[in-house]
Structure 1
Amino acid sequence: MSKIKEAFAKEKAFIPFITCGDPDLETTEKIIEAMAAAGADLIELGIPFSDSTAEGSVIQEGNLRALSGGVTTDKVFDIVRRVRQKVTLPMVFMTYANVVFSYGTARFLDKAAEVGVDGLILPDVPYEEKEEFAPLCEAAGLDLISMIAPTSHDRIKMIAAEAKGFVYCVSSLGVTGVRSEITTDIGAMVRLVKEANPDIPCAVGFGISTPAQAEKMAAVSDGAIVGSAIVRLCEKYGREAAGPIGEYVRSMKVAVLQKD
């Protein structure tokens, strides 16, 4: 079993996302350690990119803050290498195809595996184009995480059948961001995934920000993913963000477990 699948093996998972280097690299390390200590099961690490098309304004601004601070892909690798001395839970990179291409795909994936990353999410690479990355990910020992959207329809089973690690269920159309209400029938999406691949975990992301939303989404899936709400805390608290983010992650983990 892959390390990522293991994160879902015992209970519902909470998966926080942060943009590496927002507000700075030193704070990113503290945030990763705080999230791990607060009960995160898997952490998504965003490698900043100037044209992050899947992201809403909150994460786009986080990307720009990180890039203006001089964050590079190599500096992100260095963060992971350092954090891996203390944090054992699975970590995946979330970034864009151009970031990987410009670094050199095989070189990027080998380096990611070397520093201790377990998987990769590329929101701008559709299922039909994943063969550019999938064999190289497998060779490097990384899970290439598949995303399904409410518009995937007939493709859901096809995507799920070949999925690695976990399936990222996109709860809403459009870009990432905090939403007051999520109306997509997530349960139906998850059922289609499980029919095609009973062993693959499904986690829901895009728009989740409150414990109530996390509880609702986890009730019909294997876990909840939160990004924009955490990046907002980075913006609000800056270099003091690790404490508030740790508290937030703790509250969200309690919510996905549906315990009082």
Structure 2
Amino acid sequence: MQENRLDKNILQSLDAKRKCLMPYVTAAYPNLDVTAGLLDRFDRIGCPAVEIGFPFSDSIADGPVVQDSFNRALDAGFKIDALFDRIADIRPKLSMALIAMVSMSIVRRLGIDNFMKRASECGFDAVIVPDVPVDESESLSQTSTAHGLRCILMCAPTSSAKRQAEIAKHASGFIYVIAAKGITGERSAVDSQLPTMVGQLREVTKTPLIAGFGIGSADQVRDVCSVTDGAIVGSAIIRRITEAVDGKLSDDKIVQTVGDYVESLYAGTQ
């Protein structure tokens, strides 16, 4: 398997006794300049990776906050070609890994091989396709691997031991451990079963375990990181972007405000 920036960055963080904070942003929300500015700020904070969501009108796993950001980006004319071009432009300036979170409908529309090729060429390091279950992911995984991309699989609290073992068998990069039942969105607490699920996965894999869904404060990041290798924060970041947009803040001020919030979350990784 080819060397990959995501693997290297996760390992470096864990070797430095720091868990991994992975922010999530919606591509081109509110525009590509803000997306690029946020990626630069997250990189300077020290995040080993960032997830970039591709706007899609019919997302199955996302709550109203993320779906609203998708709708706004699409209404503003989001184009995948423009995103790939901007990623190619900023990639040389960034040390963190870039993860494309994208619906299989988008991948199929462009063609699986074509999508993976273009994503890799512009500078992505991994893909997450949340609407493809592990038992249907083999060709996707093979194609992404052929283009040097890690294919991140998700493990839900409801996954059986058999399903966990199957996910562990095919996992690369990290396993996205879903820390709360249901759709994405902030919650007052993560699922009480998270430590049990993580313990079960540790028995069948050495692949890093990064938890997401429902995480929105430094304390929650700290709690999640006490049992996993890192935390993904999405809806809480998108909500702050939306509040800044609705408050008519400038692009630079949006980047500053959201960046300061992510920096506060980063404190929970040690």
Please indicate, yes or no, whether the TM-score normalized by the shorter chain is above 0.5: yes
Long gaps (5+) in structure 2: 246-250
* Counterpart position of 2:257: 244
* Counterpart position of 1:166: 174
Q: 2:35 aligns with which of 28, 35, 42?
A: 28
Aligned partner letter, 1:252: L
Deviation at 1:201? 0.4
* Counterpart position of 1:194: 202
Aligned partner letter, 1:167: I
Distance 1:145 1:50 in 2: 22
Identity %: 34
Aligned partner letter, 2:234: G
* Counterpart position of 1:130: 137
2:49 matches 1:42:
yes
* Counterpart position of 2:267: 254
TM-score, length-scaled by structure 2: 0.92
Distance 1:65 1:193 in 2: 37
Distance 1:217 1:190 in 2: 10
Aligned partner letter, 1:8: I
Quote the RMSD (CA, aligned, Å). 1.2
Long gaps (5+) in structure 1: none
* Counterpart position of 1:222: 229
| Most deviating of 111-120 and 79-88 | 79-88
Distance 1:156 1:111 in 2: 31
Distance 1:148 1:58 in 2: 22
Q: State the SS of the aligned residue for 1:85.
A: helix
Higher relative contact order (CA 8 A, sep 6+): 1
Matched pairs, number: 256
Distance 1:33 1:57 in 2: 27
Question: After superposition, what is the alpha-carbon deviation per residue over 1:155-194, rounded to whole angstroms, capped at 9, x for unaligned?
Answer: 1122112210000000111100001121332222222222
Distance 2:135 2:254 in 1: 39
Deviation at 1:57? 0.2
TM-score, length-scaled by structure 1: 0.95
Contact preservation (8 Å) 1:45, 1:93? yes
Deviation at 1:248? 1.2
Distance 2:138 2:168 in 1: 15
Distance 1:102 1:172 in 2: 30
Distance 2:234 2:183 in 1: 12
